[in-house]
Amino acid sequence: AQSVAQPEDQVNVAEGNPLTVKCTYSVSGNPYLFWYVQYPNRGLQFLLKYITGDNLVKGSYGFEAEFNKSQTSFHLKKPSALVSDSALYFCAVKTNAGKSTFGDGTTLTVKP
Amino acid sequence: GAVVSQHPSWVICKSGTSVKIECRSLDFQATTMFWYRQFPKQSLMLMATSNEGSKATYEQGVEKDKFLINHASLTLSTLTVTSAHPEDSSFYICSAASGFSYNEQFFGPGTRLTVL
C-alpha cells in the first residue's frame, strides 16, 4: 500500500524568508509525486509534479520541490515567501495503478 | 491548466431529501473522475472513482446506495446524496484526470453541503 506523510500540521514563516513544507512517501515501484495548494473554501490547485528525470522540479508561483529517492522525500520549497502563499498544501503520490494518496495537509502561514 | 466546475457551490437541505452535485470538465475529456469528501482542516477522503460509461468504484466504508455516482459522459459526473442526514454535511470535491496515470488531477471548487 502506498502512503504519504506530511509531518508538520503547521508551518509559520516570515515574509521574505525561505519556506519548506515536508513530505515523505512510501510506495512500491516508481512514484509519481505531486504538490497541490488549497485556499479557503476552494478546490485544490496543481503546483508541480515529479515523474522522472531532474530531481529538482519547478512549478507555479515560484515553488519548487526536490525528489530524494534515498530519503523517499519530496519537500516543497520557495526561496522567498509571500503573505499570499498562506494556504493548505497537500502532497500526493500515484503509481501506475492511477489512484492518488494524499497527505494530511500542512497549513502554511506567512506573516508580514 | 484545465478547468473543472462544480455546481452548486453550496447547498442547504432538509434531512431526508436528496441532493445532486454536478462536476464538469470544461475544456478536456476526463476519462476518470474522483469524488472526495473533506472535513474541516482534514485531508481529502476519496469516496469513489468513476470511469466514463462504467460503474463507480467505491472506497471501503462508503455506502454506494447512499452516494450515487454517475459518469455519463467524458465531461460530466454527478454525485447524488440520497436521504441526506446532518452527518452528511461536508465539503465535497470532485476532480478529473485524463490520459496517463502520471497526469495531475484537476479539481473542482467544491460544494459545501449543509443538512439541517
Q: What is the DSSP string of chain B?
A: ---EEEE-SEEEE-TT--EEEEEEESSS--SEEEEEEE-TT--EEEEEEEETTSPPEEPTT--TTTEEEEEEETTEEEEEE-S--GGG-EEEEEEEE-SSTTSPPEE---EEEEE-
For A77, A82, B37, B68, B91, the CA distances from B62, given in Å and listed in that order, are 36, 39, 11, 10, 15
- If you measure CA to CA, which chain A residue comes closest to B59? A99
Average pLDDT over residues B94-109: 86
Q: What residue has cell string 460509461?
A: B53
pLDDT at B103: 82
pLDDT band at B78 (very low <50, low <70, confident <90, very high): very high
For residue A29, the SS3 value is coil
| Lowest mean per-residue pLDDT among B6-20, B36-50, B64-78 | B36-50
Domain layout of chain A by residue ranges? 3-111
What's the gap in Å between the CA of B33 and the closest CA on chain A? Answer: 11
Neighboring chain B residues of A41 at a CB cutoff of 8 Å: 91, 110, 112
**pLDDT at position A95:** 75
Burial label, B57 (beta-carbon count in 10 A; 0-12, 13-18, 19+): middle
Q: Identify the pLDDT of residue A93.
A: 93
> Tens of pLDDT along A65-102?
999 999 999 999 999 999 999 999 999 998 766 678 89
pLDDT at B101 over 80: no
- Chain B hits for A49, CB-CB cut-off 8 Å, are 102, 104
Amino acid code (one letter) for A5? A
Tell me the pLDDT of chain B averaged across its residues: 91
Residue B1 in this model has a pLDDT that exceeds 70: no
Is A51 exposed, middle or buried, given 0-12, 13-18 or 19+ CB atoms closer than 10 A? middle
A102 contacts B43? CB cut-off 8 A? yes
User: Which of A30, A46, A48 to mutate to probe the B interface, most B CBs <10 Å?
Assistant: A46
Q: Is the CB of residue B60 less than 8 Å away from at least one CB of chain A? A: no
pLDDT at residue number B14: 96
In A, which residues are within 8 Å of B44 by CB distance?
44, 90, 102
Contact A49 B95 (CB under 8 A): no
Chain A: residue whose CA lies nearest to B10? A41
Length of chain B (residues):
116
A83 to chain B, minimum CA–CA distance in Å?
20
pLDDT in tens, A10-58: 999 999 999 999 999 998 888 899 999 999 878 899 999 999 889 999 9
Q: Are B106 and B4 in contact (CB under 8 A)?
A: yes
For position A97, what pLDDT does the model report?
Answer: 66
A39 in B contact zone (CB under 8 Å)? no
Average pLDDT value for residue range B21-49: 89
Residue B80's closest CA among B19, B30, B26? Answer: B19
| Residues B49, A44: C-beta atoms closer than 8 Å | no
Strand partners, B48: B35, B58
Can you tell me the mean pLDDT for B53-62?
89
For A3-111, CATH number out of 3.10.20.30, 2.60.40.10, 2.40.160.210, 3.30.450.20 equals: 2.60.40.10
Kindly tell me if the per-residue pLDDT of A2 is higher than 70. yes
